[in-house]
Structure 1
Amino acid sequence: MSARDEILAAVRANRPQGEHALPDLPAFPFDDGGALTACFLRNLEAMGGNGLESGDIADLLRERFPAATTIASAVPEYRGNRDLTSIAHPRDLADVDVAIVRARFGVAETGSVLLTDDALITNAVAYLAQHLVVLLSRADILPTLQEAYRREEFQKHRYASFHTGPSATADIEGVLIHGAQGVRSLTVVLSKRGKAVPSEIRVND
């Protein structure tokens, strides 16, 4: 038995007996000013992220990441040149310049996006890529975290993680550094779910 199995077995053996219902989740009022999308973009940028109302992915990559050579895409709208389904170990993602994924939904209150295991294909790509581009449909923006936690994603997926801007850390003097422990930038593009592209698009032509 592995250490993990031993720990889980101990937890199961010592859990309180009987059925214990979860507490009710309150619904707090939230004023988005009548503009849910604008509220989401405003809070996203307040947390260091970048928001785009729309745009072609290939153009975005050429303009914002001109030096990028390795693109890992988990979306049908763009075909990168690193196959995420072939990744055997997280270290194989060390050279990824840009990862493109689609969020299950966004949260206007915090400017967050929810990424799940099936959307990422390889969970580590959301942390080991230099830059993260997230596609999000306007119809998938929720007002608050309370509404977000009622979503089925938290019951259906083995992995689900909120991302709020790029990685950031600050020392005792208050110097803020992005990318110290994860992606250096996070860009959210408001985009409807699209169809697969027929061939790879190279960004440095």
Structure 2
Amino acid sequence: MSSRDDILASIRANLPCVDRPLPRVPLFDDAPPVSLLDAFKANLHRMGGLYLDPPASGDMLAPVRAKIADARVVCSTVPELPGNCDIRGVVAPQSLADVDYAIVRASFAVAETGSVLLSDADLQLNAVAYLAQHLIVLIDPADIVVNLHHAYRRAEFRDRHYASFHTGPSATADIEGVLIHGAQGVRSLSVLPLPRTGSTLNH
């Protein structure tokens, strides 16, 4: 046994046996917005994202179809709108570098920040959310939580191998405050509110 092991074993053996429960963290949701969807939309726009208003009737995916109409390579992980690049056949993540549009569904969204949570289950291959030129995200309005305090209590942070908040497109700013979108990742992030199969719009 090394000196390091001796030290660590001694620390473990002498840990104080005191029950100190973690403090209760409030959810800060005493005054939620009247509409989580409207709050999410406003904050998404503030962070450089684009909200796609679905038509009142007809093809709910029409705004997405319009955006990808002239795209050469579309990679989709959602059953609602298949692309022409099958992500299940991708072996090397770098081969996604020629993807014009990636279409994914978020686990949930956060009204407070305009963020969407994308996990390994949503993306199937994490690189698709970063190497594609443009990212289109489907979100069920029923999956919008009021703030980050609620977000961090979601099961996705316990059950998934990977989870990342995306708040608008990639952005960077120099010391003079000139903001550039798409410098280090997707050039645009668009969100379409679309209930999951069997879900209902309740916001």
**RCO higher in 1 or 2 (8 Å CA, sep ≥ 6)?**
1
Partner of 1:203: none
Alpha-carbon RMSD across the aligned residues, in angstroms, is 2.4
What is the one-letter code of the residue matched to 1:26? Answer: P
The Cα of 1:62 is off from its aligned counterpart by 4.7
The Cα of 1:46 is off from its aligned counterpart by 0.2
The Cα of 1:26 is off from its aligned counterpart by 2.6
For residues 45-80 of structure 1, give each alpha carbon's deviation from its aligned partner in whole angstroms, at most 9, with x where no partner exists.
000001123254763345334431100000000110
Asked whether the equivalents of residues 104 and 114 of structure 1 are also in contact (C-alpha less than 8 Å), the reply is yes
Equivalent residue of 1:77, what SS? coil
1:30–1:72 CA distance, 2 compared to 1 (3 A): farther
TM-score, structure 1 as length reference:
0.81
Which residue of the other structure, out of 58, 81, 85, is the alignment partner of 1:82? 85
What is the one-letter code of the residue matched to 1:33? Answer: P
Alignment of 1:4-23 (within 5 A): 17=12, 23=23
Alignment of 1:141-152 (within 5 A): 141-152=144-155
For residues 87-144 of structure 1, give each alpha carbon's deviation from its aligned partner in whole angstroms, at most 9, with x where no partner exists.
1112110100000000010000000000010110100000000000000001000001
Which residue of the other structure, out of 181, 184, 190, is the alignment partner of 1:178? 181
Distance in 2 (CA, whole Å) between partners of 1:92 and 1:20 is 50
Distance in 2 (CA, whole Å) between partners of 1:20 and 1:79 is 51
Asked whether the equivalents of residues 100 and 132 of structure 2 are also in contact (C-alpha less than 8 Å), the reply is yes
Alignment of 1:126-141 (within 5 A): 126-141=129-144
Find out whether 1:125 has 2:116 as its counterpart: no
Greater radius of gyration (CA) = 2
The Cα of 1:22 is off from its aligned counterpart by 5.3
The Cα of 1:29 is off from its aligned counterpart by 3.3
What is the one-letter code of the residue matched to 2:171? Answer: A
Which residue of the other structure, out of 146, 163, 168, is the alignment partner of 1:165? 168
Between 23-32 and 121-130, the greater mean CA deviation after superposition: 23-32
Runs (5+) with no aligned partner, structure 2: 199-203
The Cα of 1:172 is off from its aligned counterpart by 1.3
Asked whether the equivalents of residues 60 and 194 of structure 2 are also in contact (C-alpha less than 8 Å), the reply is no
Alignment of 1:15-94 (within 5 A): 17=12, 23-29=23-29, 31-54=31-54, 56=59, 59-94=62-97
What is the one-letter code of the residue matched to 2:41? Answer: L
Distance in 2 (CA, whole Å) between partners of 1:126 and 1:177 is 18
1:22–1:74 CA distance, 2 compared to 1 (3 A): farther
Partner of 1:6: none
- Percentage identity across paired residues of the two chains: 53
1:154–1:21 CA distance, 2 compared to 1 (3 A): farther
1:194–1:82 CA distance, 2 compared to 1 (3 A): farther
TM-score, structure 2 as length reference:
0.81
The Cα of 1:32 is off from its aligned counterpart by 4.1
Partner of 1:116: 119
1:22–1:121 CA distance, 2 compared to 1 (3 A): farther
